[in-house]
């Protein structure tokens, strides 16, 4: 039986596919055995907070409605960007800054550490402190 011959471009494509599969498999294995692997990507799967977007109308009372629906505090040590954005006053930019701080500095020891993040001053902290926890 004769094996098919590949041209150089096809060989590169085959190697790329094989390398992608190997790398993806390695990442999956690593993720399964290391619970601290990229928590901002994995999110908090045990205590997922979901709020139906259809039920929140864009009004001045949006923050009030959202805060009434958000019953559990969000753990800033395990929350994903989407979960952080559920906090009134935290948008995509601040959620990314929180994740970056957490990746660079490690776990938050207390919620007051949020004040070290650019864009979270005393006023913003007072606005969000009742919605966050480190436990």
Domain boundaries defined on the chain: 1-37, 39-133
| Topology (CATH) of 39-133 | DNA polymerase; domain 1 (1.10.150)
Q: Which pLDDT does position 131 carry in this prediction?
A: 92
pLDDT in tens, 26-63: 887 777 776 666 655 555 444 445 555 554 444 445 55
Distance CA(127)–CA(121), nearest Å, equals 10
Residue 114: is its pLDDT beyond 90?
yes
Identify any residues that bridge with 132 across adjacent strands, giving them in sequence order.
74
Task: Summarize the confidence of residues 5-18 as an average pLDDT.
Answer: 88
Count CB-CB contacts under 10 A for residue 134. Answer: 16
Q: Which pLDDT does position 39 carry in this prediction?
A: 59
* Average pLDDT along the chain: 79
Q: Which residues contact 30 (CB under 8 A, 6 or more apart)?
A: 37
Distance CA(114)–CA(125), nearest Å, equals 7
More confident residue, 44 or 17: 17
Task: Kindly state the helix (H) or strand (E) to which residue 22 belongs, with its residue range.
Answer: helix 8-33
Are 58 and 101 contacting, i.e. CB atoms less than 8 angstroms apart? no
Q: Which pLDDT does position 5 carry in this prediction?
A: 84
Task: Summarize the confidence of residues 114-134 as an average pLDDT.
Answer: 93
- pTM metric for this prediction: 0.51
Are 124 and 118 contacting, i.e. CB atoms less than 8 angstroms apart? no
- What is the longest distance spanned by two Cα atoms in the chain? 75
Task: Summarize the confidence of residues 16-24 as an average pLDDT.
Answer: 90
Q: Which pLDDT does position 48 carry in this prediction?
A: 47
Distance CA(127)–CA(135), nearest Å, equals 19
């Amino acid at each position: 039986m004769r094996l098919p011959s590949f041209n150089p471009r096809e060989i590169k494509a085959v190697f790329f596919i094989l390398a992608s599969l190997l790398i993806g498999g390695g990442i999956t294995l690593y993720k399964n055995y290391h619970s601290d692997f990229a928590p901002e990507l994995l999110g908090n799967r045990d205590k997922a907070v979901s709020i139906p977007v259809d039920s929140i109308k864009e009004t001045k009372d949006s923050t009030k409605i959202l805060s009434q629906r958000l019953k559990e505090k969000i753990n800033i040590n395990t929350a994903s960007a989407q979960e952080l954005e559920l906090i009134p006053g935290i948008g995509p930019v601040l959620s990314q800054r929180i994740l970056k701080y957490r990746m660079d500095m490690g776990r938050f020891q207390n919620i007051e550490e949020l004040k070290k993040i650019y864009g979270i001053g005393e006023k913003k902290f007072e606005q969000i402190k009742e919605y966050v926890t480190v436990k």
